[in-house]
A and B are shown apart, each in its own frame.
Chain A
């Protein structure tokens, strides 16, 4: 899947690979602005097996209209914003204007984070008849039981975290590489998961992720989305973490 992200820059491509998202923004800032163009990942080519010509694949839990706007418009806007930030940072850096480059860092964080987060999100979703929903098993299940007591209790923690976000943001199930534990964390706006945390499962809590279908009833979206979580993706991220 990583091939769709940064066609021209192998180092940035590696940085964006799932399981090693941590250095992505730093890597982008230092190396990839020259000719690297981020592109919108094609939903057909990633492990979520969502189909770009079938945005309705996650219905009735997430409507086709939401998926289409979310992927084709919102994610595309982050991709465009990321490319524009990279270009402007590149120009500022080339002309020796480091302070100008630094003032552009928030744009890089926001749009780069938006691109990373949505890319991970599409992959950790799947239709109910193709890997979506159900419960985790194997090593992932053991890790969840060990860290949260039960799958049910993980779900409760994630739903509480999602409901508690004040504004736009994301909730993530992450692995803390230093502690070796799994945790639930939230991030504001498009801040990506970084540092010791490896993102395993992300849920978009921006209003655009659910508003056309659920309006102000966001708790219904948070409980519905469990029906389309791709546990295979989550398990494979844990394996590589």
Chain B
């Protein structure tokens, strides 16, 4: 039995395109090293799991699940993250690029500023490594802010719209222990066009970057 092998999706903009919000050095390490490591370890775990399953060794297949969950989550999260960022100068980084989502955010939180404040305090409240997401509940279409530990991914019940990586590797070289400044500055490089697309398109389309890089 064969399994697919995942590949690192190319960054959709140059490494220095998010400066000064996120430095070129962070983007290079984050994309080329951290994200690649999740993919490498995911492929290893998938291969071992498929081989064990094919030979009826359920215990060996089950033993791979934590690695698949962690590294698979890392691959999913980072792939979505790169896409929901954009150079500040691009029209995609304008709040007006997300008209439908804008209406939903306004009706949920009252205003963009109130949403940012709620999202920001959720991000800063994460204890340890993790992610914050704006998600759409698949059943009700309601918007919610969720935080997830480590590399847990938004794959059950909700559609991920905007993710922010709160692992220290995402900001430390530039912001050191000043993570509040990282959270402030990331708003300038949010790709609202991507967020709007995820809000309106099918679930499979939201995750299409993964299949496109096999």
- Is there a chain B Cβ closer than 8 Å to A207's Cβ? yes
Contact with B along A153-196 (1 / 0, CB 8 A): 00000000000001111000000000000000000111000000
* Chain A contacts with B in 133-171, Cβ cutoff 8 A: 166-169
CB distance from B151 to the nearest CB of A (A): 7
CB of B37 within 8 A of CB of A216, answer yes
- 24 interchain pairs, CB-CB under 8 A: A69-B176, A106-B127, A110-B127, A166-B150, A167-B149, A167-B150, A167-B151, A169-B128, A189-B127, A189-B128, A206-B128, A207-B169, A207-B172, A208-B168, A208-B172, A211-B173, A212-B176, A215-B29, A215-B33, A215-B169, A216-B29, A216-B33, A216-B34, A216-B169
CB contacts under 8 Å to A, within B125-147, are 127-130
A77, B172: Cβ atoms under 8 Å? Answer: no
A188 CA to B152 CA, complexed, in Å: 14
Pick the contact of B172 from A166, A189, A190, A212 — CB < 8 Å?
Answer: A212
Contacts of A208 in B (CB 8 A): 168, 172, 177
Q: Does A73 contact B (CB under 8 A)?
A: yes
Contact with A along B36-60 (1 / 0, CB 8 A): 0100000000000000000000000
Residue interface bits B143-161, CB-to-A below 8 A is 1, else 0: 0000001110000000000
Q: A190, B150: Cβ atoms under 8 Å?
A: no
Q: In whole angstroms, how far apart are the Cα atoms of A167 and B66 in the complex?
A: 13
8 Å CB contacts to B: which residues of A202-241?
206-208, 211-212, 215-216
Point out the residue from B127, B149, B168, B176 that lies within 8 Å of A73, measured CB to CB: B176
| Chain A: interface size category | 20 to 34
Pair A190/B127 contact, Cβ less than 8 Å: yes
Assess whether B176 is in contact with A207, with CB atoms less than 8 Å apart: no
Q: Which of B53-94 contact A (CB under 8 A)?
A: 66, 70
Which A residues touch B115, using CB under 8 A? none
Interface residue A17 (Cβ < 8 Å from any Cβ of B): no
Nearest CB on B from A39, distance (A): 19
Q: In chain A, what residue has the closest Cβ to B34?
A: A216
Asked if A167 contacts B128 (CB within 8 A), the reply is: yes
Determine the chain A residues whose CB is within 8 A of the CB of B130 once the complex forms: 167
Beta-carbon contact of B128 and A77 below 8 Å: no
Top 3 nearest A-B pairs by Cβ distance?
A189-B128, A167-B150, A207-B168
B33 neighbours in A (Cβ, 8 Å): 215-216
Complex alpha-carbon distance, A166 and B37, angstroms: 13
Could you tell me the distance between the alpha carbons of A73 and B66 in the complex, rounded to whole angstroms?
33
A74 interface residue per 8 A CB criterion: yes
Q: Which residues of A contact B172 (CB under 8 A)?
A: 207-208, 211-212
Q: Which A residues between 96 and 149 are near B, CB-CB below 8 angstroms?
A: 106, 110
Q: Determine how close the nearest CB of chain A comes to the CB of B130; give it in whole angstroms.
A: 7
Give the distance to chain A from B202, nearest Cβ to Cβ, in Å: 30
Whether, in the assembled complex, B167 has its beta carbon less than 8 Å from a beta carbon of chain A, the answer is yes
In this complex, what residue of B is CB-closest to A189?
B128
Query: Considering the chains assembled together, what is the distance between the CA atoms of A188 and B126 in angstroms?
Result: 13
How many angstroms from the CA of A211 to the CA of B167 in the assembled complex? 11
Chain B residues within an 8 Å CB radius of A215: 29, 33, 169, 173
> A residues within 8 A CB of B128?
167-169, 188-190, 206
Say whether, besides A167-B151, A215-B29, A216-B37, A69 and B177 are in contact (CB < 8 Å): yes
In angstroms, Cα B177 to Cα A207, docked, is: 11
B169 near A211 (CB under 8 angstroms)? yes
Query: Smallest CB-CB separation from A106: which chain B residue?
Result: B127
| 78-93 of chain A: CB within 8 A of chain B | none
Given A207-B167, A208-B168, A216-B33, the answer on whether A167 and B129 have CB atoms closer than 8 Å is yes
12 additional A-B residue pairs with CB within 8 Å, beyond A207-B168, A211-B169, A212-B176: A77-B177, A106-B127, A166-B150, A166-B151, A167-B129, A167-B150, A169-B128, A208-B168, A208-B177, A211-B168, A215-B33, A216-B169
